[in-house]
Chains A and B, each alone.
Chain A
């Protein structure tokens, strides 16, 4: 191996081969994936996000939410994600067709968010989580994001703003201050509420057991999918399909 060109070409081949195999090959395999039509609803999946939610995705990216939160649900045989109520099924490549950038995340220092929009959080709950997650869950490890909100004194006599956060009973927030979400918070919450990877189509089918068993867990962030969200059950699943409540 005393020949520079030989060395160069050998390494070139190694790098290019891996690039062809891991990036270019898969691109030709499923880079042309298209939206799928859900027959029951007549809508195509994944559905487009509205403008505010798209701005929210930018806020999510800019603040690096993906360094603590994943957006991927592993199958029932590979992890407890479904049992924890983070989704009804595993996530597949088609779920991310509209994401740019795709923020799958590698670390779970917080719960998975792939189906956050399908969980029973009110908009106010999500604002509270961003403003100070400990208001809802005293032991939460999530940082506060006060810079997404405006704290301003209540004007004497004037009614509080309709946009102000509704604090739970007993929270130590001064009574003469109201907290208004800024534009970034509005957009981010719109994006979080748009996170749903629960449509059922030919590629994915729900695991054998419905995740209802996790309702016994009283911990946070293990909410079972929202009630009344049964419109997606495809007829192809036949008798084995779990009956959505």
Chain B
């Protein structure tokens, strides 16, 4: 968004010519490769544990003797594994690589990023273990106990400082729109997570204000991390794959700022008709409806790109993933706006339909886009084609089918559940039995996601192993060759 008042090309920190893509990829190899590896592992884990949690909805007796597998523990574990395991690490990995590529500067701080990734994973593992062993905080999306969250913060600081450093050392005058979204997301997350944890868990506010802080955090995370990254990645991938430029930089800026202004205000509608003051939930409704406008702007921005080069985009798996992901995001915006209107919300409140909406954003919008981006950047970062490239199309089919199935099943099941809850003459048990079949479809969807996660994980692991072999085997052969210097036996 270059307004005439600003200089057209502002002073840049490093006037050297942009680094070559090969140089940048090489600088990203270890840190981004490690983040990708961990993220894909957590995607698989979240799929498996998510399937297990969904099974508990329709087969509550499963593993009932194990406190660890009770729904109230395994569901937050699955949720956090996706949000903090896959969502944060895939987002950071993609942001590191794209920031370096878009800024034309090589990645710096490699060791710190690797250390940060290991720290982050350690914190997440002890945190999830603690949730499974009765240590959850009881605040949705803020379940991890304090000691784990502190480890996560250390890890995040060690990683997320560097894309900002790269941004500051950029060698291109123009900042690409994706970079706005990445900078915003990288900055929003720590603020949201720290403020959310402080005010809802560590030093809780009084009474329902904890719920207000939690709702603010959750919605902020949805828009400020998952939403921003989805858009940022799609705005890079689609023009890149198709070779068609975005039609308007100003429209991108309009969408970005409107989303930043309205997006963070939508949280309180999660407690519609609850004990929060009505003006808070009303604020949430207004903000959620207004968020439709930036969504329209983003849609208008991307539509010409997709329209003019449909073939090129759909011929690359990452393009298909990005279109499906961005489509899910725009659908989420529209459905969230409809959902928060009070006649609709009176039906959907407390039902599976709310789960469906969250799923559409997390697994649909962000999940699809990020998986596509992982497939796109993995070969370039690892420096070798993925060994099972044929599986990528299958992963796309599995993941989109899973999102569609989950959202439709839980959406319809939620509406049936909500209509039943609203009818006081219908016995409560009948209402509960009514949505059981839809929960079964959710299990199928999560199983498909788990299988898809396995395809990505296997691809990444196999590529890393192949690359490591390619690096190690020649050296070993050289060392062990007949003519190689020998260590003679000494007298």
Bitwise interface map of A from 1 to 40 toward B, beta carbon under 8 Å scored 1, else 0: 1111001101110110111011100110111110000000
Bitwise interface map of B from 416 to 445 toward A, beta carbon under 8 Å scored 1, else 0: 010001111111111011001000000000
Q: Judge if B239 is at the interface, Cβ distance under 8 Å.
A: no
Q: Judge if A139 is at the interface, Cβ distance under 8 Å.
A: yes
Interface SS of B by simple majority: helix
Looking at A78-86, A185-193, A237-245, the stretch in contact with chain B turns out to be: A78-86
**Residues A220 and B427 in contact, CB atoms below 8 Å apart:** yes
Q: Judge if B173 is at the interface, Cβ distance under 8 Å.
A: yes
Q: Judge if B458 is at the interface, Cβ distance under 8 Å.
A: no
Complex Cα–Cα for A7 and B251 (A) = 16
Bitwise interface map of B from 469 to 480 toward A, beta carbon under 8 Å scored 1, else 0: 000000000000
Q: Judge if B315 is at the interface, Cβ distance under 8 Å.
A: no
Complex Cα–Cα for A240 and B155 (A) = 60
Chain A's closest residue to B177 (CB) is A1
Q: Judge if B283 is at the interface, Cβ distance under 8 Å.
A: yes
**Residues B211 and A102 in contact, CB atoms below 8 Å apart:** yes
**Residues A11 and B183 in contact, CB atoms below 8 Å apart:** yes
Find chain B residues with CB under 8 A from A216 CB: 425
**Residues B275 and A219 in contact, CB atoms below 8 Å apart:** no
- Contact status of A83 and B265, CB under 8 A, knowing A15-B191, A108-B351: no
Find chain A residues with CB under 8 A from B349 CB: 74, 79
- Contact status of A23 and B271, CB under 8 A, knowing A2-B173, A66-B138: no
**Residues A219 and B207 in contact, CB atoms below 8 Å apart:** no
**Residues B187 and A106 in contact, CB atoms below 8 Å apart:** no
Enumerate chain B interface residues (CB-CB to A < 8 A): 1-2, 6, 9-10, 56-58, 60-61, 64-67, 70-73, 75-76, 134-140, 167-168, 173-175, 180, 183-184, 187-188, 191-192, 195, 199-201, 204-213, 215-216, 220, 224, 253, 256-257, 260-261, 263-265, 267-268, 270-277, 280, 283, 342, 346, 349-352, 354-355, 417, 421-430, 432-433, 436
Q: Which of B200, B351, B355 contacts A101 (CB 8 A)?
A: B200
Please, could you name 30 A-B residue pairs with CB atoms under 8 Å apart, sorted by A? Answer: A2-B2, A4-B175, A14-B261, A22-B265, A26-B209, A30-B277, A32-B206, A33-B206, A61-B136, A64-B71, A66-B138, A67-B72, A67-B140, A68-B71, A70-B350, A72-B274, A80-B421, A80-B423, A101-B200, A102-B207, A104-B274, A110-B432, A137-B429, A141-B58, A141-B436, A143-B71, A145-B64, A147-B67, A220-B428, A221-B428
7 closest A-B pairs by beta carbon, nearest first, are A64-B72, A219-B427, A18-B264, A62-B134, A143-B60, A83-B424, A61-B138
**Residues A22 and B60 in contact, CB atoms below 8 Å apart:** no
**Residues B273 and A79 in contact, CB atoms below 8 Å apart:** yes
Find chain A residues with CB under 8 A from B6 CB: 2-3
Find chain A residues with CB under 8 A from B427 CB: 217-220, 222
**Residues B183 and A4 in contact, CB atoms below 8 Å apart:** yes
- Contact status of A11 and B61, CB under 8 A, knowing A33-B206, A33-B207, A219-B429: no
Q: Judge if A95 is at the interface, Cβ distance under 8 Å.
A: yes
**Residues A75 and B280 in contact, CB atoms below 8 Å apart:** no
Complex Cα–Cα for A36 and B112 (A) = 54
Complex Cα–Cα for A145 and B6 (A) = 65
Q: Judge if A115 is at the interface, Cβ distance under 8 Å.
A: no
**Residues B432 and A106 in contact, CB atoms below 8 Å apart:** no
Q: Which of A60, A61, A140 contacts B429 (CB 8 A)?
A: A140
Q: Which of B342, B424, B433 contacts A84 (CB 8 A)?
A: B424
Q: Tally of A-B residue pairs with Cβ under 8 A?
A: 248
Q: Which of B64, B174, B208 contacts A104 (CB 8 A)?
A: B208
Find chain A residues with CB under 8 A from B204 CB: 100-102
Contacts A63-B73, A100-B204, A141-B57 known; 9 new A-B pairs at CB < 8 A? A2-B6, A7-B175, A7-B183, A15-B187, A18-B264, A62-B135, A63-B70, A108-B350, A143-B60
**Residues B138 and A14 in contact, CB atoms below 8 Å apart:** no
Bitwise interface map of A from 90 to 110 toward B, beta carbon under 8 Å scored 1, else 0: 111111110111111111111
**Residues A217 and B425 in contact, CB atoms below 8 Å apart:** yes
- Contact status of A99 and B207, CB under 8 A, knowing A66-B138, A137-B429: yes
Chain A's closest residue to B135 (CB) is A62
**Residues A146 and B65 in contact, CB atoms below 8 Å apart:** yes
- Contact status of A1 and B61, CB under 8 A, knowing A7-B183, A106-B270: no
Find chain B residues with CB under 8 A from A18 CB: 216, 220, 264-265
Find chain B residues with CB under 8 A from A142 CB: 60
Chain B's closest residue to A94 (CB) is B207
Chain B's closest residue to A100 (CB) is B204
Q: Judge if A154 is at the interface, Cβ distance under 8 Å.
A: no
Chain A's closest residue to B3 (CB) is A1
Chain A's closest residue to B173 (CB) is A2
Find chain A residues with CB under 8 A from B9 CB: 2
Q: Judge if A152 is at the interface, Cβ distance under 8 Å.
A: no
Find chain B residues with CB under 8 A from A210 CB: none
CB B178 to nearest CB in A, in angstroms, measures 12
**Residues B183 and A106 in contact, CB atoms below 8 Å apart:** no
**Residues B273 and A64 in contact, CB atoms below 8 Å apart:** no
**Residues A143 and B56 in contact, CB atoms below 8 Å apart:** yes
- Contact status of A66 and B200, CB under 8 A, knowing A79-B421, A102-B211, A107-B354: no
Q: Judge if A236 is at the interface, Cβ distance under 8 Å.
A: no
- Contact status of A109 and B57, CB under 8 A, knowing A18-B264, A23-B212, A26-B209: yes
**Residues B428 and A23 in contact, CB atoms below 8 Å apart:** no
B271, B272, B275, B280: which has the most chain A beta carbons within 10 Å? B275
Q: Judge if A173 is at the interface, Cβ distance under 8 Å.
A: no
CB A103 to nearest CB in B, in angstroms, measures 5
